[in-house]
């Protein structure tokens, strides 16, 4: 552990106590018990008021009588059962309703809390009830179940992209400068969602979660945005470590037919993101479907007099790339072959070295949604089209031009690469992209960017 975390006078003496709320849906026996025991064993008894297990309508037999009988040995543990499948968001709200301590601490049902995890979290809330705090989330290996401790000197903070997907990024310079040592809590624009402590009254003041959110997803950004926009702060506390099993795929059944995550994200964007919501909507082809009634959430925001999303971006997350500051947004269509083909890449953030390819243009955004930045990058959020001499790839944006610099003149329609001076083309068999000596007469080298605005370009 970071030595600075151990200093005995580091924390307040009269910390508030907490109710730990753990929701589960069909969790494995050993994994759930590991979570509960780590909380009981590694939390100071006077700070742990109770552990509330919310069973979100599981059907595994070990989670019924067996669990109840086992937990009678631990009087602090209460089991509450949902009468139908609620999804994790409403299950968390059920847990909150039963909680009696001033602070709520949420954990996923496959965690391990480490020694000293709780005090540094409660300490922050003890100083300011509007501070929402997250531990550092370490990895519990999903096959060996081993705990991989991660040194908190290189702590990451939470962000998001315009698909409204949560992501991690390195601590920004401006935030590093605010601190004298690596044990100090750092501001984070967003939280991962599962593991955090919040003052119960503050959570209620913020309108808890949007209960129109279903099953899973989006609730973490909702709570993050409104914490910052409505007067609070969100921090990651390097002295607090909790391990979590990151699973490769979702182990439980989703209600088929509706895209739950998309519905949640639309509600989130419509209520909290003002004009910036449009960047998400473009990604989903402006198809909304039925996202329910959001009027009470809009009223909540008004009642709390929360700040604008622009304020949030300017002050809390200035690193985020804003699509509106780009020169083009949308598809990139080739002129050859009757204009049927578009630049297409299934790569997501973190997939390094995914080739950029071609696909019939579909006008649904997604893998064909590109942005040209005013610095001449062709971006998909934090990924950039990159050419290093062989194939054309998507690579994390580095901001240093070089292999990620592209020139486009709408008159010529050529996409010319900055360092090699070659031009992007479709191969003659229309199977792949290739780089060729520029010739503006070759249709295969002619491209059209959607919504291109040359005046915004800072490179020519
Ligand atoms: C992350 C969060 C998770 C939640 C989620 C959705 C972390 C480490 N994890 O994904 O807490 O915020 O993002 O945004 O930050 N569960 C139910 N009912 C359901 C589905 C899930 O009770 O219908 C429980 C589940 O047993 C687990 C918790 O909710 O304890 C979170 O689900 P997850 O572990 O599948 O989410 P995760 O970690 O992939
Ligand atoms: Mn989880």
Residue 35 CB less than 6 A away from ligand 1: no
- Specify the residue with its C-alpha closest to ligand 1, atom 23: 87
The 8-class DSSP code of residue 338 comes to G
Q: Taking a C-beta distance cutoff of 8 angstroms, is the pair 317, 191 a contact?
A: no
State in Å: Cα 100 to ligand 2 middle.
24
State in Å: Cα 447 to ligand 2 middle.
43
Report CA 8 to chain centroid distance, whole Å: 34
Residue 137 CB less than 6 A away from ligand 1: yes
Residue 392 bridge partners (DSSP): 387
Q: Is there a domain that residue 312 lies in?
A: no
State in Å: Cα 246 to ligand 2 middle.
6
Q: What is the structure's pLDDT at 250? A: 67
Q: Is there a domain that residue 149 lies in?
A: yes
Q: Please calculate the CA angle 152-201-220 and round it to the nearest 5 degrees.
A: 45
Residue 422 confidence (pLDDT) above 80: yes
- Specify the residue with its C-alpha closest to ligand 1, atom 27: 108
Q: Taking a C-beta distance cutoff of 8 angstroms, is the pair 403, 424 a contact?
A: no
The 8-class DSSP code of residue 324 comes to G
Q: What is the structure's pLDDT at 5? A: 86
State in Å: Cα 34 to ligand 2 middle.
14
Q: Is there a domain that residue 256 lies in?
A: no
Residue 301 phi/psi, 5° resolution?
Answer: -60, -40
Residue 215 CA: nearest ligand 1 atom is: 23
CA dihedral 233, 239, 242, 247 (to 10 degrees): 70
- 189 and 54 co-located in one domain: yes
- Residue 364's pLDDT band, with cuts at 50, 70 and 90, is confident
Q: Which ligand is in closest contact with the Cα of 53?
A: 1
- Residue 353's pLDDT band, with cuts at 50, 70 and 90, is confident
Structure tokens at 247: 């699973």
Out of 216, 244, 260, give the residue to mutate to test ligand 1, the one with the largest number of ligand atoms within 8 Å of its CB. 216
Residue 23 CA: nearest ligand 1 atom is: 22
> What is the rounded distance in angstroms from the CA atom of residue 177 to the CA atom of residue 9?
24
Q: What is the structure's pLDDT at 387? A: 96
What share of the chain in percent tops pLDDT 70? Answer: 95
Q: Is there a domain that residue 59 lies in?
A: yes
Start-to-end Cα distance in the chain: 51
- 187 and 332 co-located in one domain: no
Residue 140 bridge partners (DSSP): 147, 245
CB atoms within 10 A of CB 324: 11
The 8-class DSSP code of residue 197 comes to E
State in Å: Cα 290 to ligand 1 middle.
24
Residue 412 confidence (pLDDT) above 90: yes
Q: Is there a domain that residue 338 lies in?
A: yes
Q: Taking a C-beta distance cutoff of 8 angstroms, is the pair 323, 337 a contact?
A: no
- Residue 111's pLDDT band, with cuts at 50, 70 and 90, is very high
Range of the domain at 366: 323-456
- Residue 346's pLDDT band, with cuts at 50, 70 and 90, is confident
Structure tokens at 333: 């269509």
- 191 and 330 co-located in one domain: no
> What is the rounded distance in angstroms from the CA atom of residue 384 to the CA atom of residue 375?
12
pLDDT tens digit sequence for 215-249: 888 999 999 999 999 999 999 999 999 999 998 77
Q: What is the structure's pLDDT at 152? A: 65
Q: How far is CA 290 from CA 209, 269, 283, 294, 327, in A?
A: 19, 14, 17, 11, 32
> What is the rounded distance in angstroms from the CA atom of residue 28 to the CA atom of residue 38?
16
Q: Is there a domain that residue 269 lies in?
A: no
Q: Where is the domain boundary, 228, 245, 262? A: 245
> What is the rounded distance in angstroms from the CA atom of residue 96 to the CA atom of residue 89?
11
pLDDT tens digit sequence for 266-275: 999 999 999 9
- Considering the entire predicted model, what is its pTM? 0.84
Q: What's the rounded mean pLDDT across residues 129-141?
A: 97
Structure tokens at 394: 């998507």
Out of 83, 194, 219, 240, give the residue to mutate to test ligand 1, the one with the largest number of ligand atoms within 8 Å of its CB. 194
- Residue 258's pLDDT band, with cuts at 50, 70 and 90, is low
Q: How far is CA 142 from CA 136, 247, 249, in A?
A: 18, 6, 11
Residue 253 confidence (pLDDT) above 80: no
Written as one string, the DSSP assignment of 282-306 is HHTTT--------HHHHHHHHHTTP
- 333 and 195 co-located in one domain: no
Residue 322 phi/psi, 5° resolution?
Answer: -100, 115
Q: What is the structure's pLDDT at 169? A: 85
The burial of 101, by beta-carbon neighbours within 10 Å (0-12 exposed, 13-18 middle, 19 or more buried), is given as middle
Q: Is there a domain that residue 330 lies in?
A: yes
Written as one string, the DSSP assignment of 6-50 is G-GGGS-SSPPPEEEEEEESS--HHHHHHHHHHHHHHS-GGGEEE
| CATH code of residue 102 | 3.90.550.10
pLDDT tens digit sequence for 378-410: 998 888 999 999 999 998 888 778 999 999 988
Q: Taking a C-beta distance cutoff of 8 angstroms, is the pair 343, 425 a contact?
A: no
126: helix, coil or strand? helix
Q: Which ligand is in closest contact with the Cα of 243?
A: 1
Q: Which ligand is in closest contact with the Cα of 252?
A: 1
Residue 32 CB less than 6 A away from ligand 1: no
Q: Is there a domain that residue 43 lies in?
A: yes
Domain count, the chain: 2
* Averaged confidence pLDDT in the chain: 92
| CATH code of residue 359 | 2.80.10.50
Structure tokens at 191: 């939280």
- Specify the residue with its C-alpha closest to ligand 1, atom 25: 24
Residue 108 CB less than 6 A away from ligand 1: yes
Q: Which ligand is in closest contact with the Cα of 108?
A: 1
pLDDT tens digit sequence for 70-80: 999 999 999 99
């Amino acid at each position: 552990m970071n030595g600075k975390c151990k200093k005995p006078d580091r924390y307040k003496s009269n910390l508030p106590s907490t109710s730990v709320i753990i929701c589960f849906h069909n969790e494995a026996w050993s994994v759930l018990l590991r979570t509960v025991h780590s909380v009981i064993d590694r939390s100071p008894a006077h700070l742990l008021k109770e552990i509330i297990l919310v069973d979100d309508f599981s059907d595994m037999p070990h989670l019924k009588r067996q669990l109840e009988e086992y937990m009678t040995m631990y009087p602090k543990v209460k089991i509450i059962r949902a009468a139908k499948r609620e999804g994790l968001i409403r299950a968390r709200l059920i847990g909150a309703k039963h909680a009696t301590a001033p602070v709520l601490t949420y954990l996923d049902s496959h965690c391990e809390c480490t020694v000293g995890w709780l005090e540094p979290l409660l300490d922050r809330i003890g100083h300011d009830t509007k501070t929402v705090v997250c531990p550092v989330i370490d990895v519990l290996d999903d096959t060996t179940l081993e705990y991989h401790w991660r040194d908190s000197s290189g702590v990451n903070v939470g962000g998001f992209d315009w698909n409204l997907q949560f992501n991690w990024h390195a601590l920004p310079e401006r935030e590093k400068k605010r601190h004298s040592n690596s044990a100090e809590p750092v501001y984070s624009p967003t939280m991962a969602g599962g593991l955090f402590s919040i003052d119960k009254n503050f959570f209620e003041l913020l309108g808890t979660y949007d209960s129109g959110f279903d099953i899973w997803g989006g609730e973490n950004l909702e709570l993050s945005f409104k914490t910052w926009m409505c007067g609070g702060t969100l921090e990651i506390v390097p002295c607090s470590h909790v391990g979590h099993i990151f699973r490769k795929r979702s182990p439980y059944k989703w209600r088929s037919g509706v895209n739950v995550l998309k519905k949640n994200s639309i509600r989130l964007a419509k209520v909290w993101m003002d004009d910036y919501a449009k960047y998400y909507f473009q990604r989903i082809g402006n198809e909304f479907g039925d996202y329910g009634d959001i009027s009470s959430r809009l009223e909540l925001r008004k009642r709390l007099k929360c700040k604008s999303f622009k304020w949030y971006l300017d002050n809390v997350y200035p690193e985020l790339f804003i699509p509106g500051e780009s020169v083009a947004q949308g598809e990139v269509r080739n002129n050859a072959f009757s204009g049927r083909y578009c630049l297409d890449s299934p790569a997501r953030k973190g997939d390094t070295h995914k080739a950029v390819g071609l696909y019939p243009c579909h006008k649904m955004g997604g893998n064909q949604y590109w942005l040209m930045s005013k610095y001449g990058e062709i971006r998909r959020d934090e990924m950039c089209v990159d050419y290093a001499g062989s194939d054309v790839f998507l690579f994390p944006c580095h901001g240093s031009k070089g292999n990620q610099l592209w020139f486009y003149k709408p008159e010529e329609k050529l996409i010319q690469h900055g360092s090699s001076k070659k031009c992007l083309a479709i191969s003659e068999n229309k199977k792949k992209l290739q780089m060729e000596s520029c010739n503006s007469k070759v249709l295969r080298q002619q491209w059209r960017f959607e919504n291109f605005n040359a005046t915004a370009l800072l490179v020519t």
